[in-house]
Amino acid sequence: MVEKVQIHTDKSPAAIGPYSQAIRCGNLIFTSGQIPLTPAGELVSQDVQEQTHQSLRNIKHILEAAGSSLDRVVKTTVFISDMNDFPLVNQVYQQYFQPPYPARSCVQVARLPRDVKVEIEAIALV
């Protein structure tokens, strides 16, 4: 049986509920959705591009704590509160990933925690 290992780093905000920042299971890391909070738990700004940067920085730090990196991401899910922001999110997103890009889903949702504009989760290889 494959063991689940909790991943935690102080370089990303602590979980704001009953969940882990990430779980390593075998050679995969599953991050929880990362919203644009600083490690201190403060919202970075109201700008969707700054929020996207912070969400991806949080994922980067979590993956590094797990012994992985953004280069090892195979799948992401991006949740946005307004599909009109999709091009702006993409402008930032492509700065963090290189071809071949991870598989990705992007969905508009009615509301996100703390009323942020973007939340991103990832699956990566160790």
Buried/exposed 86-99: b ≥16 CB within 10 Å, e otherwise: eebbeebbeebbee
* Active-site residue, selected from the candidate residues 28, 43, 106, 112: 106
d(CA 106, CA 109): 10
Q: Which two tokens stand for residue 64?
A: 């590094």
Is 106 one of the annotated active-site residues of the chain?
Answer: yes
d(CA 118, CA 122): 14
d(CA 11, CA 5): 18
Catalytic residues: 106
